[in-house]
Amino acid sequence: MELVTPGIGLIFWQTVTFLIVLFLLGKFAWKPIMKALHDRESSIENALSAAEKAKLEMQALKADNEKLLAEARLERDRILKEATEAGNSIVETAREKANEEGARMLAQAREAIENEKRAAITEVKNMAAALSVDIAERILKRELNDPRAQQALVQEYISGVTLN
C-alpha cells in the first residue's frame, strides 16, 4: 500500500519545493506576467476604442457623403432644369422670329403681287386704249359709207390684233 499513499517526507519536500517555487514566481515572475497581461488588456481596449472611433468616423463620413451626393443630385437637377428652360426659350424665340420673318415675307410677297397686278391692269388698259385709238384712226382714214364695209373692216382688225 505504500505505492498508493505517499510518505510524510515526500509530502513535506513537495510542499517546501512548492512554496519555494511559489515565492520565486511571486518575487520574480508574477509582476512581469501581470504587467504583460495588463499591457495586453489595455492595448486590446485601446484597439477596441480606436475601432469604435473609426466606426463613428466612418458613419459620419458616410452621412457627409450621402449629404454631398444629395446636394450634387439637387444641383444636377437644377442645372438640367435651367438647361431645358434655356433650350425651350431659345426654340420659342427662334420660332417667333421665324413666324415674324414669314409674316413679313408674306406681306412683301402680297404687296409685290398687288403691285404687279396693278401694273398689268394699267398695261392692259393702255393697250386697249392704244388699240381703240388705232382702230378708230384706221376707220377714220377710210371713208366708208357702207355699213357692211365698216363691219368687215372691224372684223379684219379684230382678227389681226394679238394681245400680249
Full-model pTM: 0.41
Task: For 37-60, write each residue's pLDDT tens digit.
Answer: 999 999 999 999 999 999 999 999
* Dihedral (CA of 64, 69, 73, 79) sign: positive
Q: What percent of the chain has pLDDT over 90?
A: 60
Residue pair 153/144 in contact (Cβ under 8 Å)? The answer is yes
Residue 2 belongs to some domain of the structure: no
User: In Å, how far are 6, 24, 34, 117 from 21, measured between CA atoms?
Assistant: 21, 5, 17, 137
150: closest CA among 161, 133, 138?
138
pLDDT, position 116: 93
Q: What is the CA radius of gyration of the chain?
A: 63
> Would residue 1 count as lying in a domain?
no
Crossing angle, helix 147-160 and helix 30-141, to 10 degrees?
150
* Residues 136 and 121 sit within 8 Å (Cβ to Cβ): no
SS3 at position 10: helix
Give pLDDT tens digits for 101-151.
Answer: 999 999 999 999 999 999 999 998 888 888 887 887 776 666 566 677 777
Full residue range of the structural domain in which residue 102 is found: 10-160
Residue 124 in grid coordinates: 392692259
Domain count along the chain:
1
What dihedral do alpha carbons 71, 74, 78, 83 form, nearest 10°?
100
32 lies in some domain: yes
Cα–Cα dist 43/47, whole Å? 6
* Amino acid 136: pLDDT: 77
